[in-house]
Amino acid sequence: MMKIGLLGHGTIGVGVDRIIKKREDMEVKKILSLVIDDEMEGRTAADLSEITMDPEIDTVVEVMGGIHPAFEYIKEAMEQKKNVVTANKAVVAACYDELIALAEKNGVFLRCTAAVGGSIPWLVNIERARRVSDIFEVGGIMNGTTNFILHKMLTEQAEFDVVLKEAQDLGYAEKDPSADIDGDDIRRKVLISANTAFDVSIPEEAIPTFGIRTVRLKDVSWGVSNGLTLKLKACAVKNADGQIEKAFVEPVFLKSGDILSAIPANYNLVYYTGSYCGTQSFIGEGAGRFPTAHNVVEDLIDILETPETFYTVKRERKVPENHVKRLYYVRTVAEDRWLLETAHEEAEGVYCLEAYVDEIHLWAKQMKEKDPGFFMAALE
């Protein structure tokens, strides 16, 4: 029987604990949590050493979130020869190379399927596909919170602030929603997906990201008047030479017939495209207690049944080029000479232009300093 040390007993931790209680092949022996609740049933660990130094515990599940102290806890667990399963996309994205090196050095499993896509069987299917096909694109709608906001703005003609408050009341968005609405969450997910699909290691800071914090109903309505639907999308593409041609996150106006434009509420749709398998898409809830906990337990079962884990493979460090041209919609009240010389003005303060991805994301950072309400989206 697998003996587990659980780090974190919040929303996801409780879900993992409840699922495991119904199984006979694994048991949560100790729980380290800032908040003690009745469900912990005397299994409380006073500190990390009660878990890492327990010879019976062979696997640690980390669902605390954040980078620190999660990284230090995972590192200590692996150095004590414990397998690790984590749902923490922040620590995996930020410490990817260190984590796989630790797992390889100590001969333990490291699995993070639940870090991307909630209950969607995403990373495991990328790994299965790349055994036969050369995967050259991954992407999609990877954040349920922002999809919920944009979908509500579209269907109810509501302003961003109103819908964000509703998302927080429903538990889709955190009290501080920055990771979702600024695109950090989806950036981490596409990074982990691309690393797995392309067998590389991409630095997180090398993925240009623009979120939806400044989106307004007028932007969504402009899309509708042009037969377009606004979504927050991530993509990563590898070319025939093995270089990462592009990897970025940005709002996108999609044609209303595009399958991504129809994804409702807090659902995700992720896809990969391969040389033999074509494009494969996966849809499902991307967050929530039991959808995420489900994939954590799937990883635990894989450790019980699988002779090796694909996260302990040495990967080459690569930086996306992102020097590809796209059409963009821009809304700003700030005066900018380059914009006036380059763009076609659609309406007062609204422009359309063609620009390179890497260049426009750098320019957007400068524009946000001049105009905090600046917004842009690609026209796909």
The residues annotated with a catalytic role in the active site are 189
Whether 65 and 88 have beta carbons less than 8 Å apart is answered as: yes
Residue of 155, 150, 107, 91 whose CA lies nearest to 268: 150
| Distances, alpha carbon 284 to alpha carbons 177, 267, 281, in Å | 21, 5, 10
DSSP lists the bridge partners of residue 317 as 201
204/196 Cα distance (integer angstroms): 14
Whether 331 and 349 have beta carbons less than 8 Å apart is answered as: yes
Structure tokens at 109: 């499993």
Structure tokens at 327: 């059409």
Structure tokens at 199: 């067998």
Whether 43 and 5 have beta carbons less than 8 Å apart is answered as: no
60 exposure class (CB count in 10 Å sphere: 0-12, 13-18, 19+)? buried
